[in-house]
Amino acid sequence: MAESASAPVQVRGTVLTVRRLDAYHALTFVAPAIATRFRPGQFVTIAVGGPSSSMLGRRAFAVHDVRPDHGGTVEFIFDAAGPGTRWLASLRARDVLDAVGPLGRPFPVPREPSSCLLIGVGHGASPLFSLAAKLRERGSPVDFLLGAASADRVIGALTARRTARSLTVTTTDGSLGTRGPATAMLEQVIREARTEVIYACAPITVLRDVCLLAARYEIPVQACVDVPMACGTGVCMGCVLPVTGNDGITRIVRACVDGPVFRGDLVRWDDIGTIPFDALGAPGWKPVRVPGGTQVAGGTPETRHAG
Amino acid sequence: MRARLGHAELPNPIVAAAGCAGAGRELAQFVDVAKIGALTTKSIMTEPRTGNPAPRLAETPSGLLSSVGLQGPGIDGFLQRDLPWLLSRGARVIVSVAAQTVREYAALATRLSDAAGVTAIEVNLSCPNAEDAGRVFALDAAAAGQVVAAVRSGARYDIPVFAKLSPDVADIVPVASACVSAGADGLCLINTMLGMSIDPIRMRPVLAGLFGGLSGPAIRPVAVRCVWQVHEALPEIPIIGTGGVSSGRDALEFLLAGASMVGVGTEILHDPSACARIQRELEEELAAMGVDRVADIVGQAHAQRRLAR
């Protein structure tokens, strides 16, 4: 029942390859309907464990890349760290997957060519490479900053070195590039590349640090959040985080349908995992009825604090 | 495959269960909502509500623990945005309502009756009663009956009221009887069971809300037992049997236990087109048995047992 060319579809996709990628795995499956609809930043969900699986939650994976071969293939990169992902790693060519996608809000790209810095940590970096290709097509220079715990968890370094204007790598154990977190090199990269837009895919704490620093340089950040999801379609309400809208009101929104890409300055990073007192509908929150009958939340920040 | 829900005729007995179908829009990308027997909304409350902090969900063996905390738009937002959209798509809508006081439940029923197009009201009784130290309505037959009576009197006469009951009671039959005596037109069995999961590495509860409602195939035998017991005690009362249905054969099990409609919940999270698939599978099951009308097999497992005696 796809309603438009961009609406997600549920398909049975045939596995083409499952290959090791250092510490991770990459799975490619045939799904033309997903591949043709895909835009960088979107994700797929996969049912794991087979038809009589005891694992009810779908697993969400950022799409690494889509290719036109076999009518359209989709690839994602994952860490086989749990029972669901280990099952995926055990699949072979010609096995069939229940896949839904493409899901979520993709990365917006600048209208004018802009200097773009793409920050990725671990396999979280996977959606950045199709984004980089799209940015380059539109004339935007791309710099990469890739961080990971160790060298075998840095993905796409070769691709980045070949295609991007610059590549900076950091690892926690110093086994590749500079020793330390990705954020340690951020300021230097921003200055050297004269970064105008940042795209970041990383754990929440890293995204928060990136957004803090970017705010000092007044650089907009498009942050792709990595939060656990159970359905990916918006029904389970599991993947929520507090995000401020353009109207100044904080809402508890779903990463799967309202994200996973958010404007970094609108996410209340320090409040993730809590319900901020001023969020729409929070305990004690009262609607303010204004003349004309429309309903707004909690009034101005001043009245909220006074209340 | 037709089923009756009060005055409404449903094209099939499959009902999308509360809290698993969102506001309908999410599902409409994968199934035609007009072809689902009926779609139950997430529980609607008086005001908008944030719900609980994350983590809200935990996967357990053949189950899902959830503590979303009734996040929702409130009745105003629901009536302005969600209900008109569902009706425009031709969906039959069962509106689940939740509240903290008896009076609030009644007021919600009245608001829903004033809006055209509501097929039925489902009373989510698994809410803490603010006037009784937070004791959950569904755990007390008298309190459950009071809520149902208030909703019945607040709702328009031709809108059926279904009470959704919790399995977390020693005996579900007295609660069911109290709801029916209070005017419930039908029952929805069962809501989630209270459960808990602890992360042995972090040594902390997995859910921010500590406890969550267990759903999925893990609770199906409990749900079938509840439907059986209530149908045996109250054979005339329509029941929406809900709990871990993931195939047409599971749906058939509920019909045989005494349900006249079957709710599909957590399976929708696993398979967004589950309602259409299960309806198709049930149709095939019934055709294979040579059954034309769903009503012919409702409660049949009881009849077999009576014959054997």
Half-sphere exposure of B294 (CA within 13 A, CB side): 28
User: Are the C-beta atoms of residues A198 and A117 closer than 8 Å to each other?
Assistant: yes
- The catalytic position among B20, B127, B179, B226 is B127
Asked if residue B49 has pLDDT above 60, the reply is yes
Superfamily of domain B3-308: Aldolase class I (3.20.20.70)
Mean pLDDT of all residues in A99-116: 95
Q: Please report where in the chains the tokens 């929406």 appear, as a residue.
A: B240
Give the domain ranges of chain B.
Answer: 3-308
* Nearest CB neighbour to B53, from listed A58, A275, A295: A275
The closest of A158, A160, A78, A77 to A118, measured between CA atoms, is A160
Consecutive H or E run containing B250: helix B248-257
Cα(B266)–Cα(B58) distance, integer angstroms: 13
> DSSP letters of B267-281?
HHHH-TTHHHHHHHH
User: Are the C-beta atoms of residues B10 and B35 closer than 8 Å to each other?
Assistant: no
Judge: B270–A282 Cβ closer than 8 Å, yes or no: no
Q: What's the pLDDT score for residue B2?
A: 85
| CATH code for residues A9-103 | 2.40.30.10
Q: How does pLDDT run across A246-279, given as a tens digit for each residue?
A: 999 999 999 999 999 999 999 999 999 999 988 9
Catalytic annotation present for B179: no
Separation in Å, CA of B60 to nearest CA in chain A: 7
Separation in Å, CA of B284 to nearest CA in chain A: 19
Give the domain ranges of chain A.
Answer: 9-103, 104-224, 230-302
- Interface confidence, given as ipTM, is 0.92
Consecutive H or E run containing B172: helix B172-181
Phi-psi region of A88 (alpha: psi -120 to 50; beta: other; left: phi over 0): alpha
Q: Which residues of chain A lie closer than 8 angstroms to B29, CB-CB? A: 1-3, 7-8, 233
Half-sphere exposure of A151 (CA within 13 A, CB side): 6
Consecutive H or E run containing B87: helix B83-88
User: Are the C-beta atoms of residues A242 and A277 closer than 8 Å to each other?
Assistant: no
Best B96, B267, B269, B278 residue to mutate vs chain A (most A CBs within 10 Å): B269
User: Are the C-beta atoms of residues B141 and B178 closer than 8 Å to each other?
Assistant: yes
User: Are the C-beta atoms of residues A186 and A145 closer than 8 Å to each other?
Assistant: yes
Q: How far is CA A290 from CA A244, A250, A296, in A?
A: 21, 19, 7
Q: How does pLDDT run across B200-239, given as a tens digit for each residue?
A: 999 999 999 999 999 999 999 999 999 999 999 999 999 9
Domain range A104-224, CATH architecture: 3-Layer(aba) Sandwich (3.40)
Cis peptide before A46 (omega within 30 of 0): no
pLDDT category of residue A306 using cuts at 50, 70 and 90:
very low
Q: Which residues of chain A lie closer than 8 angstroms to B62, CB-CB? A: 54, 56
Mean pLDDT of all residues in A142-160: 94
Mean pLDDT of all residues in B1-13: 86
The pTM score is 0.92
Expressed in percent and rounded to 5, the helix, strand and coil fractions of chain B are: 40, 20, 40
User: Are the C-beta atoms of residues B245 and B251 closer than 8 Å to each other?
Assistant: yes
Q: What's the pLDDT score for residue A298?
A: 40
Q: How far is CA B255 from CA A106, B13, B304, in A?
A: 44, 9, 14
Q: How does pLDDT run across B169-179, given as a tens digit for each residue?
A: 999 999 999 99
Asked if residue B20 has pLDDT above 60, the reply is yes
Q: What's the pLDDT score for residue B133?
A: 86
Asked if residue A296 has pLDDT above 60, the reply is no
Half-sphere exposure of B126 (CA within 13 A, CB side): 22
The closest of B18, B80, B72 to B49, measured between CA atoms, is B72
Mean pLDDT of all residues in B177-206: 96
Mean pLDDT of all residues in B64-77: 94
Asked if residue A27 has pLDDT above 80, the reply is yes
Same fold, A9-103 and A104-224: no
